[in-house]
Chain A
Amino acid sequence: MSGLKKYGILTSLLAFSSITTTHASSEVYANFPITLKGYNGDATTSESYGGQMARHMLHNGLKKAASSGNLAKMEMYFNGARSVPILDPKSSSKFPVKQKLVEELSGGKTLTKKTYKGKVVGWPGNMTGAEVIEFMMKKAASVPKGVDSLTGYNYPQLISKFAMGAVFYNQACTNYLGAKKLSPNSKPNDAPYKKGAKYTGKEHVWDEAFGYWGAAAHTLTLSAKESYEVAKKKNLAAADYNKDGIVDAGTEMTYAHAYYASGFDKGGKTNYLETVTRAFVDGRQTITSAKGAKIGWNGRSNLKKNASIICSNWEKVIAEAVFKYAGSVYKDLDKLNTIMEANGDTKKAFATYAKHWGEAKGFAMALEAGATDRSAVSAKLTSLLGYGPWLPNLSQVTDIAKDGSYVKDEASSLAAYQLHMLKIQKLMVDEFKVAARNNDMLGSMDDLAAKLGGSGYAEND
Chain B
Amino acid sequence: MFDVFLDFWSGLLSEATNPQKRVFIGYLASALFIAFLWLFFVEKLKIKDATSVIFSKKIWFSKSSKADFKLLFLNRIILSAGSVAVVSQITISTFLYECFSSQDFVQPLLFYSTPAGVVASLFTICFFLLDDFSRFFVHRLMHKVPLLWSFHQVHHSAETMTPFTIFRTHPVEGIIFLVRTSIVQGVVISLFIYLFGNKVDLITIFGASVGVVLFHSLGSNLRHSHIKIRYPKFFERIFISPGQHQIHHSVEQQHYDKNFGVALAIWDLMFGSLAFSEKKEHRFGLNTKFGEKQNLLHLFFYPFKSASQTFKLTFKFRGRF
- Asked if B228 is an interface residue, CB under 8 A from chain A, the answer is no
Chain A residue numbers with a CB within 8 Å of B22 are 459
Residue with the greatest number of chain A CB neighbours at <10 A, chosen from B75, B89, B167: B89
Q: What separation, in Å, do the CA atoms of A451 and B93 have in the docked complex?
A: 15
The digit string for B156-186, where 1 denotes a CB below 8 A from any CB of A, is: 0000000001111101011101100110010
Chain A residue numbers with a CB within 8 Å of B94 are 445
B248's nearest neighbour on chain A, judged by CB, is: A461
Chain B residue numbers with a CB within 8 Å of A451 are 201-202, 204, 207, 209
A415's nearest neighbour on chain B, judged by CB, is: B107
CB distance A445 to B93 under 8 Å?
Answer: yes
CB distance B83 to A446 under 8 Å?
Answer: no
Q: What separation, in Å, do the CA atoms of A445 and B95 have in the docked complex?
A: 12
In chain A, positions 97-117 with a C-beta closer than 8 Å to chain B are none
B224's nearest neighbour on chain A, judged by CB, is: A460
- Asked if A67 is an interface residue, CB under 8 A from chain B, the answer is no
The digit string for A442-461, where 1 denotes a CB below 8 A from any CB of B, is: 11011011011111111111
CB distance A460 to B165 under 8 Å?
Answer: yes
- Asked if B189 is an interface residue, CB under 8 A from chain A, the answer is yes
Q: What separation, in Å, do the CA atoms of A453 and B212 have in the docked complex?
A: 10
CB distance B197 to A458 under 8 Å?
Answer: no
Chain A residue numbers with a CB within 8 Å of B20 are 453, 456
Chain B residue numbers with a CB within 8 Å of A426 are 97
- Asked if A440 is an interface residue, CB under 8 A from chain B, the answer is yes
Among A419, A443, A448, contact of B101 (Cβ-Cβ < 8 Å): A419
- Asked if A248 is an interface residue, CB under 8 A from chain B, the answer is no
The digit string for A379-403, where 1 denotes a CB below 8 A from any CB of B, is: 0000000000000000000000000
Q: Across the A-B interface, how many residue pairs have beta carbons closer than 8 Å?
A: 113
Among B15, B101, B182, B201, contact of A422 (Cβ-Cβ < 8 Å): B101
A327's nearest neighbour on chain B, judged by CB, is: B198
Residue with the greatest number of chain B CB neighbours at <10 A, chosen from A330, A419, A446, A457: A457
B98 CB to nearest A CB, Å: 9
In chain B, positions 196-230 with a C-beta closer than 8 Å to chain A are 197-202, 204, 207-209, 212
B244 CB to nearest A CB, Å: 12
Q: What separation, in Å, do the CA atoms of A419 and B106 have in the docked complex?
A: 11
Q: What separation, in Å, do the CA atoms of A461 and B76 have in the docked complex?
A: 18
Q: What separation, in Å, do the CA atoms of A454 and B127 have in the docked complex?
A: 13
Chain A residue numbers with a CB within 8 Å of B113 are 334
Q: What separation, in Å, do the CA atoms of A451 and B185 have in the docked complex?
A: 11
Q: What separation, in Å, do the CA atoms of A461 and B137 have in the docked complex?
A: 12
CB distance A448 to B189 under 8 Å?
Answer: yes
A437's nearest neighbour on chain B, judged by CB, is: B198
- Asked if A423 is an interface residue, CB under 8 A from chain B, the answer is yes
B134 CB to nearest A CB, Å: 11
Chain A residue numbers with a CB within 8 Å of B93 are 445, 449
Known: A422-B108, A451-B202. A458 touches B89 (CB 8 A): no
A106 CB to nearest B CB, Å: 44
Q: What separation, in Å, do the CA atoms of A308 and B68 have in the docked complex?
A: 52
B194's nearest neighbour on chain A, judged by CB, is: A442
- Asked if B135 is an interface residue, CB under 8 A from chain A, the answer is yes
B205 CB to nearest A CB, Å: 12
Among A415, A452, A457, contact of B185 (Cβ-Cβ < 8 Å): A452
B321 CB to nearest A CB, Å: 36
CB distance A455 to B90 under 8 Å?
Answer: no
The digit string for A401-443, where 1 denotes a CB below 8 A from any CB of B, is: 0000000000000010011001100100000000000001111
CB distance A460 to B198 under 8 Å?
Answer: no
The digit string for A291-303, where 1 denotes a CB below 8 A from any CB of B, is: 0000000000000
CB distance A459 to B166 under 8 Å?
Answer: yes
The digit string for B90-119, where 1 denotes a CB below 8 A from any CB of A, is: 100110010001000001110011000000
Listed by A's residue number, 18 A-B pairs whose Cβ atoms lie within 8 Å are A419-B101, A419-B108, A440-B198, A442-B97, A442-B193, A443-B198, A445-B90, A445-B94, A449-B88, A449-B89, A451-B207, A455-B88, A456-B21, A456-B181, A457-B174, A458-B174, A458-B178, A461-B135
Given A449-B89, A457-B174, A459-B166, 10 extra CB contacts under 8 A: A440-B198, A448-B201, A449-B185, A451-B204, A453-B209, A455-B88, A457-B76, A458-B175, A459-B177, A460-B165
